[in-house]
Amino acid sequence: HAKSQGRSRSAVFDASMESDQMNLYLLERDLNEAVKKNELSLVFQPKVDLASRHVVGIEALVRWNHPTRGETPPTTFIPLAERSDQIVRIDRWVMRHAVQAQARWRAQGLATLPMAVNLSMADIMSTNLVEYLGDLLDEFQVPAAAIEVEVTESCAMRELGKTRSVLAALNLRGISTTLDDFGTGFSSLSYLRQLPLQSIKIDQSFTFSMLEDPNAEKLTQAIVAMGVALKMLVVAEGVESEQQMNWLLAHGCHLGQGYYFSAPVSSDDIHAVISGIELRLAQGAPGLH
C-alpha cells in the first residue's frame, strides 16, 4: 500500500515536472519571436536622492507581454533567455529603446536624467557591446551621461577580467557603471576595488530585513560604509516605507529606489510620476521636522 502510494505520488510529481519543462520549452520558443513580434516594452523606475529628495536617475526594466499568457515577469524569462543565448538580442533591443526614449524626451524639452539598463554576463562577453552602445548614442545624438549600465555582482565575479575591461571601456566612453544586487554574490572586497564602478546597489533583501533583524541592520550599515569609503554612489533597492528611507538617509546611503517612491511605470507616465514623487517628498519632508 505504502509503495503504491509512493509511486503514485512520484508519478504526479514527474508529470508536473514534465509539464513545467514543456512550459519552459514553449516559453523559450515564443521568446525567440518576442522581439520580432514587438511584444517587449520598457518600464521605468525612478532613483531618488535621499538628501535632496530629487529624482536623479531612472532604471529601464524590460517587460514581455506574451500573446496568450499576458505579462510574463523578467524573473521568468530573463533566466530562460540567458540559458538559450537570446539575452544579447533582447538586451540590445532594450539598449536601443532606452536611448530612443532619452532622445524622444530630449526633443520634448524634458531634462535628461541618467537611465540605467541591466546587462547579463553574455552582454559583457559579446564582441562589440561598447561599440554598439556608442553607435546608438551617436545615432540618436544622446550624451553618454544619459545612459548607465547595471551588472549583477554574481555576473561580475564570474568573469572578473572581462568585466573589468568592458566596464573600463564603457567608462572611457563616458558611461557610468553600477554593481547590482550587491551583497548576494561572493565578491571579496579586493575584487570590488578592482572594478571600475561608480555605484553599488544594495540588494533589496537587505532593505527588506534591515529594520526587522539586527544582524541584517549591521550588515547593511557596513555595506553602506564600505561603498562610501570606496567613494561610490550607494543605492538601496526595494525601499517600501518611510522608515526604511529615513534609516538609509541617516546611515549615509545616497540614493533609494522602490515602491515607496514608485513601482516601475510606462514611458507615458514616468514624468508625471517623477513630479509627483518630488512634490510628495517636499510636502511630507519627513526628517525635516
Residues that bind ligand C2E (CB under 6 A): 45, 61-62, 73-75, 78, 87, 91, 94, 118-120, 150, 180-181, 204, 237-240, 257-259, 264
C-alpha cell at 161: 577580467
Q: Which of 81, 180, 244, 261 binds Mg ion (CB under 5 A)?
A: 180
Does residue 153 interact with Mg ion by CB under 5 A?
A: no
Q: Say whether residue 163 binds Mg ion (CB under 5 A).
A: no
Q: Which CA distances in Å does 135 have to 59, 65, 78, 128, 245? A: 21, 28, 25, 10, 38
**Whether the Cβ atoms of residue 158 and residue 121 lie closer than 8 Å to each other:** yes
Q: Which is nearer to Mg ion, 118 or 177 (CB)?
A: 118
Q: Which residue has the cell 513630479?
A: 275
Q: Sign of torsion, CA 249 145 270 237?
A: negative
Q: Which of residues 112-131 bind Mg ion (CB under 5 A)?
A: 118
CB 99 within 8 A of CB 135: no
Our finding on whether 91 is near Mg ion (CB under 5 A) is no
170, 181, 192, 260: residue in contact with Mg ion (rule CB under 5 A): 181
Binding flag, residue 150, Mg ion (CB under 5 A): yes
Backbone angles phi, psi at 27, to 5 degrees: -65, -40
User: Phi and psi for 101 in degrees, rounded to 5?
Assistant: -60, -45
Name the binder of 259 from Mg ion, ligand C2E, none, CB < 5-8 A by kind. Answer: ligand C2E
82 binds Mg ion (CB under 5 A): no
C-alpha cell at 268: 507615458
Distance in Å, CB of 126 to Mg ion, minimum: 19
Least distance to Mg ion, CB of residue 41, Å: 17
Question: Rounded to the nearest whole angstrom, what is the least distance from the CB of residue 59 to Mg ion in the complex?
Answer: 6
Of all residues in the shown chain, the one whose CB is closest to ligand C2E is 258
- 176 touches Mg ion (CB under 5 A): no
* Distance separating alpha carbons of residues 85 and 90, to the nearest angstrom: 10
Residues touching Mg ion: how many (CB under 5 A)?
A: 5
Q: Which does 73 bind (CB under 5 to 8 A by kind): ligand C2E, Mg ion, none?
A: ligand C2E
Residue 131 and residue 104: Cα distance in Å, rounded?
A: 22
Q: Are 55 and 113 in contact (CB under 8 A)?
A: yes
- Footprint of Mg ion on this chain (CB under 5 A)? 118, 150, 180-181, 237
